[in-house]
Amino acid sequence: MRMRKLWTKAGVLGSVSMAFGSMFWSQKKTETTQTGSTTACTEPPSPYELKLVQVLFRHGARTPLKSIPDVMEAQWVPNLLEPPAHTHINYVVTDLEGGPRPSSPVEDSYRANILSGGTYPGQLTTVGMQQLYELGERLRKRYIKDTAFLNPTFSPTEVYVRSTNIVRTIESAKCLVAGLFQQSQSDMVSILTTEAESEILYPNYHGCRLLKHLSGHRWAESSTLPDIAADLRSIQSALGIAGHQRVDFILIRDDMVARETHGLPCPPILDSWRNTVEQRAVEMICHIYEPSKRENLQLCVGPLFHTLMGNIEDHLQGTTSESKRKLFLYSAHDTTLMPCLMALGVFDMQWPPYAADITLELHQHRQTKEAFVKVSYIGKDQLIPGCSGVYCPLQEFKQAFSNYSLTSELYESLCNRTESMADP
């Protein structure tokens, strides 16, 4: 079993020795402990009572955002996008106040291009829909079958669903809800979105001027770092990509993993480059987010962290209708999960696979009534730095979270600046 590596400053841009394979979401089967040969052990009741669950997850498998230029083309045909019948639910997409869905310039930019085969970039595929359905089934086992925490029928008073305003994340949310509740619903499922300028479910370079000032240039810059640039020249030559073509390891990885996930052919030369592609793509994203600089990560995740903590505090106070909710679902991206994992101190230097999830559970000790937060990533419990245990006392968790959390007012104030507080 791979040991989890805690995030350390020294590991940010250094060489990553571990090999990276293409990662796919899979569900680990729960093993039943038995005594003798026939009788299963009865686990003692947990001293912790579950009170609230928040799940931040990546969308499922999709068509690539761009194809690797000058190499054999994969055929991204429309029948790769057929939704399985068991993923259908009755749902509506609205803005955060329940009004019409806002326009989506990001989605419009995808629709301006067509991949070989006739589909658009960034579209959720049948494989991706099934991945999210299975994530929903995993949540169903934990929160409906094993613990009876949730009602087996969807109810909007119990479950809140929010997505970035992009079709693949909206459809991913729909498929997760279908798997979680097996298409059983007492009411329409509302999937809430917001306009691009105010999106908090990914680092918002468009809506935050200071973030764009601090990190916008680092996307292009990351490909020019000496070791990365040398490997990039070598792989371009090996693949026969013309020197004038603009490619980077993130693009190559995205297309490579999308092809492999759907059983489409890859250039054979990529087999020998797989580990390097994974390693360099992660090193690029570390350069972009600069986790060693607190301000950058604050601007990437601050409003989202504030929202997650606000949901916890609302539930504990129990003074609003929102506080009655038991489950908050947030459908987002790999570029959401990575800075969140970095800020939590548990990024393992591996690219989050399709349908990866970060889950925050609020618990209350049955005897002391003390509140605890437990964080898991892809089903594995995480020990957050600054916490005295996996079940993290709420005050310790709030302290760890407060290093990066930003109120909407403070976030807006910082974003309107054109230079960093750390600038000379």
Given 59, 262, 287, 306, the catalytic residue: 59
What span, in angstroms and rounded, lies between the C-alpha atoms of 132 and 137?
9
In our burial notation (b when 16+ CB lie closer than 10 A, e otherwise), range 22-33 reads bbebeeeeeeee
Task: Tell me what the pLDDT averaged over the chain comes to.
Answer: 89
Q: Say how many C-beta atoms besides its own lie within 10 A of residue 260's C-beta.
A: 16
Reply yes or no on whether 59 is catalytic.
yes
Q: What 3-state class would DSSP assign to 50? A: strand
Q: Where are the domains of the chain?
A: 45-207+291-415, 218-287
- How confident is the model over 372-386, as pLDDT tens digits? 999 999 999 999 999
Q: What are phi and psi of 54, to 5 degrees?
A: -130, 130
- How confident is the model over 331-390, as pLDDT tens digits? 999 999 999 999 999 999 999 999 999 999 999 999 999 999 999 999 999 999 999 999
- How confident is the model over 152-182, as pLDDT tens digits? 999 999 999 999 999 999 999 999 999 999 9
Band the pLDDT of 44: cuts 50, 70, 90.
Answer: confident
Amino acid at 315: H
pLDDT on residue 110? 96
* HEC assignment per residue over 185-245: ECCCEEEEECCHHHCCCCCCCCCCHHHHHHHCCHHHHHCCCHHHHHHHHHHHHHHCCCCCC
pLDDT on residue 420? 63
Residue 336 near residue 342, CB atoms below 8 Å: no
Identify the residue whose tokens are 């629709």.
111
- How confident is the model over 278-327, as pLDDT tens digits? 999 999 999 999 999 999 999 999 999 999 999 999 999 987 767 789 99
Which CATH architecture describes the domain 45-207+291-415?
3-Layer(aba) Sandwich (3.40)
pLDDT on residue 174? 98
Band the pLDDT of 424: cuts 50, 70, 90.
Answer: very low
Given 70, 314, 334, 381, the catalytic residue: 334
pLDDT on residue 421? 56
